[in-house]
Structure 1
């Protein structure tokens, strides 16, 4: 199955296939972390204060875990299945920190399809190079040609 960076469309339930994948790559910047802190109201100094963060187990600033998880949401909402998808649930396991300046690669893969209920189980993963930083599963309600 080929990976691509198609954006802004819908793959309807009837066209989904097990193993179908989509991905996204993003450079995490200081501005991203600051904006996320502002929007989420999470101003934990491990994200915003280098001096404080150096004294933690991370030995430096890290991005909010949910900022990385938000990239998964972007792939699901924009690419696979895409526009019209409704998030039902997401499991997340944070495995390594993401730091300002890291390039995060997110991949979403169709693992299971329940056509009767319009439900799709997706495998989700984020990595920096060969290091997996986040892994989980998403359950979504996929848009259908029959209903849309």
Structure 2
């Protein structure tokens, strides 16, 4: 299940501090398996129930970067959207995400440099209103003006 605001583009000329967008997604076993295949990260804490049960997490967890990829999806599809260039990202993983968890990935504009078309975005992923990931992204936003 995927729940999010309409996709598209918000140009730098239309951005305001505090503007935000989100995406909500249930993380499935299939998502974890596909991410393991694509990333080649086959750590058994993500894929093997018996192994994961004996880990510090006491059960399987999703890849942290799978959760982080939801932030990328919001940035690339909604805020700013199509034409955005990622310049940097910080991430702090706070809690594990488990199969079946619904992740809410949100980004919010915290600073805008109109001259350079650079935007700072606060990034937060939550499960049941508890943060699982926090960070900040720096992007170059699309513009209606030609360079």
- Sort the TM-score into its range (normalised by shorter chain): over 0.9
Give matches, 1:51-70, under 5 Å.
51-70=50-69
- So what's the TM-score if we normalise by structure 2? 0.96
RMSD (CA atoms): 1.2
Would you say 1:7 and 2:6 are equivalent positions?
A: yes
Q: Is 2:42 aligned against 1:35?
A: no
Shift of 1:130: 1.8
Q: Which residue of 2 aligns with 1:100?
A: 99
Q: Runs of 5+ in structure 1 lacking a partner?
A: none
What SS is found at the alignment partner of 1:134? strand
* Displaced runs of 4 or more, over 2 A: 4-8
Are 2:114 and 1:115 equivalent residues in the alignment? yes
TM-score, reference length from structure 1:
0.95
Q: Distance in 1 between matches of 2:5 and 2:13?
A: 19
Match in the other structure for 1:21: 20
Structure 2, unmatched stretches of 5+, are: none
Q: Cα distance, 1:64 vs. partner?
A: 0.1
Structure 2 CA distance for aligned equivalents of residues 21 and 5 of structure 1: 12
- For residues 7-57 of structure 1, the C-alpha deviation after alignment (integer angstroms, 9 at most, x for no partner) is 321000000000000001000000000000000000000000010001110
Aligned residue-pair number: 145
Deviations 1:83-140 (A, max 9, x none): 0000000000000000000000011000000001110000000000121000000000
